[in-house]
Structure 1
């Protein structure tokens, strides 16, 4: 199907894990208004009954694929992007929820800022039980790192790079991306946790921009035992982060963005985050986990 056709929004759901939460995510997409969107689910697991559930769903707005082999998080992200055929795409988390107004908010932002490669709408954070869940990470994002202002902005350039490298206040699964922009770069295969920030940096260096809207229209689910949390307890997440921030600092210096390079080289928020995970590292990984946290925090 051509991108010139009426459909504009490709909602991609890379799936692995809890069946019930995935089904809730799918139902939240099906509640969206309009006829300019499609849901594509790419199953990277082997949970029983999932193909049959989608077959029984029999909704022409939904495509379902099951990978022949497990591609992993980043591999499945890139595979999802390769299936996108519409002007915009969303890489939604398989346990997150769209509110019924999600696409209404995104449509308005795309109309207002058609040049933006990324649209970040308002987000609420929920826990495993679906209830509001306010963590230190999210309070810090909201109160310290996220820009202050009326909420409807077009951001870009070195100023936005500085802001996000100081502390990534975006909620990746809620972002609506211009498909062409994501296809140009894709997700780095050598990154398993911080690949979303790497893509944003690629886009900013290429001159792309981010539109923001304050209307809350998406529920981001935060799990204590998410892949990023589990990797953090062993220190592997922070080894990846350290490598990314150092490489990015060198790249931004070469690009002439010296303020952003300095912030990336310092990566203070990542180091402070490691300190907040010390109790969890002690419980889940013992002395090696604690040592990894302290090593990262001390650079």
Structure 2
């Protein structure tokens, strides 16, 4: 069977990284694909470079002005695509055999609803920094969410293959603020249609950029939307509830701790009156939605306590702002 694929790259002002990305797509051994560039009004030379390739497999969709990430990704479902599609980060790189591996995996697991392969991490200089955690060949939706919460699985926005019809039936990617948690929920929903099949081959590279310490209020809003989504989903799926009971609080605490310290780095005037104590209390309420019988107290973690203390004291907070560049990790 001659399956056809669509590779979709949402982008904005990405000239440095999109060059190796696009080149890796055009170098695929399996030539049965088209490439869709979903551009959000780039003002650098991104589009000129792509147009200069003069490749009939490339289709460009741009806008007169910049769109938010949700609006730009939202255009994907309006593009005419082939039977199977994958969304590729504009800074990630496919191995030449990526489509061949996916094609063989689909042939082996025709009933699966989501497909993935193992991958490696690269840094901004394209140096390999490690490999993803091992994945089972077959995985069902509750387990998929469970291993994500347990931290024993590396889930990124790149490398997944799905049927375009399934993507459309789900309404495209869920619109969480800034698409935070959106890919995780999308992969979960697609896996829930049937199951996820994973190739053992390592056939693409995910680019990890240097961590940014700032957090926007949208991150907090996205977390709340994600918590509400899971709270509803566990009412409908006993197996998912079991996974959330097993791993959910640890995952929530990891988010609470990380976002507390990143929130502390945001100038108070830019937080829309949100402080660390208020956010931590939100996390306690989130835990009750997932596990009402558990008394989750984030302040048992001394680093969360310290973040709240610093944030609640004007003098300490100003002192922290003056030396914050010294604190690249949560307090221990």
1:158 to 133, 142, 147: 142
Mapping of residues 252-263 of structure 1, within 5 Å:
252-257=234-239, 258-262=241-245
1:182 to 167, 191, 205: 167
Query: Is the contact between residue 275 and residue 294 of structure 1 (CA under 8 Å) also seen in structure 2?
Result: no
Shift of 1:13: 0.5
Quote the residue 2:181 is aligned against: 194
Instruction: Tell me whether 1:219 sits opposite 2:205 in the alignment.
Output: yes
Shift of 1:218: 0.8
Query: Is the contact between residue 120 and residue 170 of structure 1 (CA under 8 Å) also seen in structure 2?
Result: no
Task: Specify whether residues 234 and 53 from structure 1 end up closer, same or farther in structure 2 by C-alpha distance, changes over 3 A only.
Answer: closer
CA RMSD of aligned residues (A): 3.0
Query: Is the contact between residue 10 and residue 86 of structure 1 (CA under 8 Å) also seen in structure 2?
Result: yes
Quote the residue 2:79 is aligned against: 83
Shift of 1:92: 0.2
CA radius of gyration, larger in: 2
* Structure 1: distance between partners of 2:83 and 2:68: 26
* Structure 2: distance between partners of 1:164 and 1:84: 32
In structure 1, the gaps of 5 or more residues are none
Q: TM-score, normalised by structure 2?
A: 0.72
Shift of 1:120: 1.3
Query: Is the contact between residue 165 and residue 263 of structure 1 (CA under 8 Å) also seen in structure 2?
Result: no
Task: Specify whether residues 224 and 45 from structure 1 end up closer, same or farther in structure 2 by C-alpha distance, changes over 3 A only.
Answer: farther
Query: Is the contact between residue 14 and residue 76 of structure 1 (CA under 8 Å) also seen in structure 2?
Result: yes
Shift of 1:184: 0.9
Query: Is the contact between residue 13 and residue 45 of structure 2 (CA under 8 Å) also seen in structure 1?
Result: no
1:40 to 23, 28, 36: 36
Task: Specify whether residues 219 and 196 from structure 1 end up closer, same or farther in structure 2 by C-alpha distance, changes over 3 A only.
Answer: same
Task: Specify whether residues 182 and 117 from structure 1 end up closer, same or farther in structure 2 by C-alpha distance, changes over 3 A only.
Answer: same
* Structure 1: distance between partners of 2:232 and 2:54: 50
Shift of 1:199: 1.4
In structure 2, the gaps of 5 or more residues are 285-297, 300-332
Q: TM-score, normalised by structure 1?
A: 0.79
Larger deviation, residues 32-41 vs 255-264: 255-264
* Structure 1: distance between partners of 2:195 and 2:259: 32
Quote the residue 1:106 is aligned against: 102
* Structure 2: distance between partners of 1:204 and 1:7: 21
Query: Is the contact between residue 252 and residue 260 of structure 1 (CA under 8 Å) also seen in structure 2?
Result: no
* Structure 1: distance between partners of 2:278 and 2:56: 48
Instruction: Tell me whether 1:275 sits opposite 2:262 in the alignment.
Output: no
Task: Specify whether residues 50 and 172 from structure 1 end up closer, same or farther in structure 2 by C-alpha distance, changes over 3 A only.
Answer: closer
Residue-pair matches, total: 276
